[in-house]
């Protein structure tokens, strides 16, 4: 059935209904009800249109009254109602409140459409009336679709809130992750049901209907991808909930963070690839293009294989680092003669945050192919080293006693290792090495600076004569020797 045929049938039905209603109305109010106002519109037509709007307003008022009555009754009996039943009534009330505005919108859309259709069907200019009725039907279709979308979206919001509270009440770790995710999925997918069901009912041409269907398919694929990304984020939060990188002993946390971070990025890349491929396959032209590419995949595969050899090696290096873990997130490393911490590990590169807040970006294969220092590979504990150079006459026992006092007062020392040793006797000075342990590299750096400063101050204040010095021996010249260029007196 074509659109014009449908509109003609609608015009005939509306005119017959108005004519039948006017026959009874004329017997009550008088024959003037059949008089024409303008362009073929009679008083009976206008009265019927107004009556439809009045009925819609009455239905709207009844709908509001019923919902308010139900909510007030539940609130009045809330104190004497058992807990589960009271909670069920509460959520039912929220669902009813959520449905009222969209239902009112749908009611008024169809009511206004019916009222205007009565007037347009009575117009004496049939061609213009047919065009106006077609436009009115299109507006009604779009409005109905928007109302259904709004209704399901509001119900999805209520469902999401209910599932969120349910997850907190159950107390299960998986429930805290999966149930809120299910609620968010429902909120995103329920409105799409309205689009999927409502688009075919729109009074549009076949080409425009195909555009709408493709758009809905793209939105649906994007929504599924978004839900999968939310699932990946929820899984990450679940696995990392018991691990903290700011803890003193965070070795296990750094292991888990590294594995989860790399695997999450792999999952995101895979989801992105499949989402893009699925979106492209919605269109027939792209699908045919993909088929032609697959037909010539023999030679292209070899070329792509050689071109992507290094990329594949980089990807495999990312997996190798994730599982063998020569480095982890927040590890302290020395790379390219720079001290820093591993800030981020991706599938292609590693970001090192250097001590002065610069970022050193290195390809991920660097940590597979080249040597580097990892100060926190098995433990964050580390020994700090301080070198001092003093004169040979310097007594060492006072220095060891001062070192003990410095370490006992220091918050950076972990009370495990303290040593002062003579590690070299050079031509002019003794080399003293101080070893002191700390919980991590940052504390070790602060401890080294503190020890160096205070020991130097101690030597300056108490033994300044034993600071490094250069010695020279002056001998008198033999008798009779004269300085070069000396002229004897006459």
Inform me whether the pLDDT recorded for 421 exceeds 90.
Answer: yes
**What SS3 state is found at 481?**
coil
Per-residue tokens: 82: 């058992």
Rounded Cα–Cα distance for residues 250 and 256 (Å) = 10
Give me the pLDDT at residue 407, please: 94
Question: CB burial class (10 A; 0-12, 13-18, 19+) of residue 429?
Answer: middle
**Numbered ranges of CATH 3.30.70.100 in the chain:** 382-466
Task: Please name the helix (run of DSSP H) or strand (run of DSSP E) that holds residue 360, with its range, or none.
Answer: strand 359-363
Give me the pLDDT at residue 33, please: 57
Give me the pLDDT at residue 390, please: 93
pLDDT tens, residue by residue, 93-151: 888 888 888 888 888 888 888 888 877 777 666 777 777 777 777 788 778 888 888 88
pLDDT tens, residue by residue, 268-316: 888 888 888 777 777 766 565 544 444 444 444 555 455 455 556 666 7
Inform me whether the pLDDT recorded for 28 exceeds 70.
Answer: no
**In terms of Cα–Cα distance, which of 158, 155, 58 is closest to 108?**
58
Classify domain 382-466 by CATH number: 3.30.70.100
Give me the pLDDT at residue 239, please: 80
Convert 34-63 into a string of H (helix), E (strand) and C (coil). HCEEECCEEHHHHHHHHHHHHHHHHHHHHH
**Phi and psi (nearest 5°) for 142?**
-65, -40
Give me the pLDDT at residue 313, please: 65
**Numbered ranges of CATH 2.30.30.60 in the chain:** 268-374
DSSP state of 476: P
CB 434 within 8 A of CB 399: no
Give me the pLDDT at residue 21, please: 54
More confident residue, 414 or 475: 414
pLDDT tens, residue by residue, 210-259: 777 777 778 778 888 888 888 888 888 778 877 777 776 676 777 788 77
Give me the pLDDT at residue 10, please: 47
DSSP state of 136: H
Give me the pLDDT at residue 201, please: 62
Rounded Cα–Cα distance for residues 34 and 19 (Å) = 9
Rounded Cα–Cα distance for residues 454 and 439 (Å) = 21
Give me the pLDDT at residue 294, please: 44
CB atoms inside a 10 Å sphere around CB 247: 12
Rounded Cα–Cα distance for residues 164 and 234 (Å) = 14
Give me the pLDDT at residue 241, please: 76
Mean pLDDT of the chain: 77
CB atoms inside a 10 Å sphere around CB 280: 13
Task: Please name the helix (run of DSSP H) or strand (run of DSSP E) that holds residue 435, with its range, or none.
Answer: strand 430-438
More confident residue, 71 or 16: 71
Classify domain 268-374 by CATH number: 2.30.30.60
Give me the pLDDT at residue 2, please: 43
381 pLDDT tier (thresholds 50, 70, 90): confident
């Amino acid at each position: 059935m074509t659109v014009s045929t449908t509109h003609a049938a609608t015009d005939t039905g509306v005119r017959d209904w108005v004519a039948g209603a006017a026959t009874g109305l004329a017997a009550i109010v008088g024959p003037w009800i059949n008089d024409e106002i303008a362009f073929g519109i009679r008083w009976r037509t206008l009265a019927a249109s107004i009556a439809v709007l009045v009925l819609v307003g009455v239905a709207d008022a009844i709908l509001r009254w019923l919902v308010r009555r139900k909510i007030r009754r539940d609130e009045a009996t809330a104190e004497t109602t058992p807990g589960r039943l009271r909670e069920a009534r509460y959520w039912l009330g929220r669902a009813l409140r959520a449905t009222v505005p969209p239902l009112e919108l749908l009611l008024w859309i169809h009511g206004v459409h019916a009222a205007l259709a009565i007037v347009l069907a009575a117009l004496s200019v049939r061609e213009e009336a047919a065009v106006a009725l077609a436009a009115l039907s299109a507006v009604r279709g779009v409005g109905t679709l928007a109302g259904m979308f709004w209704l399901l979206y509001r119900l999805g919001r209520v469902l999401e809130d209910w599932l969120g509270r349910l997850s907190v009440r159950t107390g299960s770790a998986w429930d805290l992750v999966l149930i809120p995710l299910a609620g968010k999925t429902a909120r995103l997918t329920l409105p799409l049901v309205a689009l999927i069901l409502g688009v075919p009912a729109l009074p549009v041409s076949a080409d425009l209907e195909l555009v709408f269907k493709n758009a809905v398919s793209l939105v649906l694929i994007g929504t599924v991808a978004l839900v999968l990304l939310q699932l990946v984020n929820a899984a990450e939060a679940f696995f990392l909930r018991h691990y903290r990188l700011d803890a003193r002993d965070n070795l296990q946390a750094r292991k888990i963070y590294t594995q989860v971070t790399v695997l999450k990025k792999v999952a995101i890349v895979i989801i992105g690839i499949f989402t893009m491929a699925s979106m492209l396959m919605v269109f027939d032209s792209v699908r045919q293009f993909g088929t032609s590419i697959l037909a010539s995949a023999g030679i292209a595969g070899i070329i792509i294989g050689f071109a992507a050899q290094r990329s594949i090696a980089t990807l495999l290096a990312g997996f190798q680092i994730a599982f063998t873990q020569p480095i982890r997130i927040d590890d302290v490393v020395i790379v390219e003669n720079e001290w820093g911490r591993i800030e981020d590990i991706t599938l292609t590169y590693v970001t090192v945050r250097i001590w002065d807040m610069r970022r050193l970006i290195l390809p991920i294969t660097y940590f597979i192919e080249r040597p580097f220092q990892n100060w926190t590979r098995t433990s964050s504990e580390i020994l700090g080293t301080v070198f001092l150079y003093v004169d040979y006459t310097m007594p060492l026992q006072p220095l060891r006693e001062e070192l003990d006092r410095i370490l006992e007062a220091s918050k950076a020392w972990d009370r495990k290792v303290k040593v002062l040793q003579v590690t070299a006797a050079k031509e002019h000075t003794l080399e003293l090495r101080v070893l002191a342990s700390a919980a991590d590299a940052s504390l070790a750096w602060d401890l080294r600076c503190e020890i160096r400063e205070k020991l130097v101050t101690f030597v300056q204040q108490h033994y300044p004569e034993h600071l490094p010095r250069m010695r020279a021996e002056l001998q008198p010249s033999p008798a009779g020797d004269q300085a070069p260029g000396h002229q004897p007196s006459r």
